[in-house]
Amino acid sequence: RMSGFQINLNPLKEPLGFIKVLEWLASIFAFATCGGFKGQTEIQASCPPKLNENKTITAVFGYPFRLNEASFQPPPGVNVCDVNWKSFVLVGDYSSSAQFYVTFAVFVFLYCIAALLLYVGYTNLYLDSRKLPMIDFVVTLVATFLWLVSTSAWAKALTDIKIATGHNIVQELLPCQKKEALCYFSSVTSMGSLNVSVIFGFLNMILWGGNAWFVYKETSLHSPSNTSAPHSQGGIPPPAGI
């Protein structure tokens, strides 16, 4: 029988609930710093024999980082070296790693909300159940592993994105290779927020890995008499008045 909803903020003062709040916040930073990114890379092109007249060619890219869909754009209304720059794109498709990372972070965000609602609103139900703590423990272990996998994959993709949008693009562009235009790499948008997203990914992995112990203490694996014994060792104290 499901007990009624009754707010009890005591779990938030214990490691089990407090760490869940930190996980919730960290997941927000993880998907926001990656999914909200938009940048561009620029090269300077000049046409022989007027090598002193540089024109800026720009390729705009962002989440989910399908670079092979990011075409180069000359200045509006300007014919640069009689080249159709729009037919040339950046190299690489890193959408699978980026979307896996962001999608998983969003799912974690939603799970944290559900778990906190259970901890705070249905404290008795969580403490008296044998299944809910075990489910929470299994999800925590799986989440720890998936944070490691998704963040590692995204970190590798980010390294490749930096290479694909860096000075190497001059060597990849066909007009630059054929000397139709004299090309120089100009700049690329700072990817500091993407670096932060990787940091938060590994931070999330540490938080979930550490929280596994406190969730484990609530399961019957740690205390076989979990449903009847006082929860003095668990992460959530018994409600007042019991």
CB-based contacts of 218-221 (< 8 A; 24+ apart in sequence): 218/16, 218/126, 218/127, 218/133, 218/136, 218/137, 219/130, 219/133, 219/134, 219/137, 220/130, 220/133, 220/134, 221/134, 221/137
pLDDT recorded at residue 223: 61
pLDDT recorded at residue 240: 46
Greatest Cα-to-Cα distance within the chain, rounded to the nearest angstrom: 88
pTM: 0.83
pLDDT recorded at residue 51: 64
Give 230's pLDDT tier (boundaries 50, 70, 90): very low
How many Cβ atoms are within 10 Å of 164's Cβ, its own excluded?
Answer: 21
More reliable by pLDDT, 233 or 169: 169
Is the model's pLDDT at 132 over the cut of 60? yes
The sign one gets for the Cα dihedral 65, 68, 69, 70 is positive
* Mean pLDDT (whole number) for 198-225: 87
Is the model's pLDDT at 231 over the cut of 60? no
* Mean pLDDT (whole number) for 170-179: 87
Is the model's pLDDT at 226 over the cut of 90? no
User: What is the tens place of the pLDDT at every residue in 7-30?
Assistant: 888 888 888 899 999 999 999 999
pLDDT recorded at residue 222: 61
Return the domain boundaries, the chain. Answer: 13-218
How many Cβ atoms are within 10 Å of 4's Cβ, its own excluded?
Answer: 8
Q: How far is CA 234 from CA 14, 91, 127, 183, 222, in A?
A: 9, 52, 9, 64, 10
Q: What is the percent of the chain where pLDDT is above 70?
A: 89
Average pLDDT, the chain: 87
User: What is the tens place of the pLDDT at every residue in 79-105?
Assistant: 888 889 999 999 999 999 999 999 999
User: What is the tens place of the pLDDT at every residue in 40-60?
Assistant: 999 999 887 776 778 899 999
pLDDT recorded at residue 232: 42
Q: What is the percent of the chain where pLDDT is above 90?
A: 62
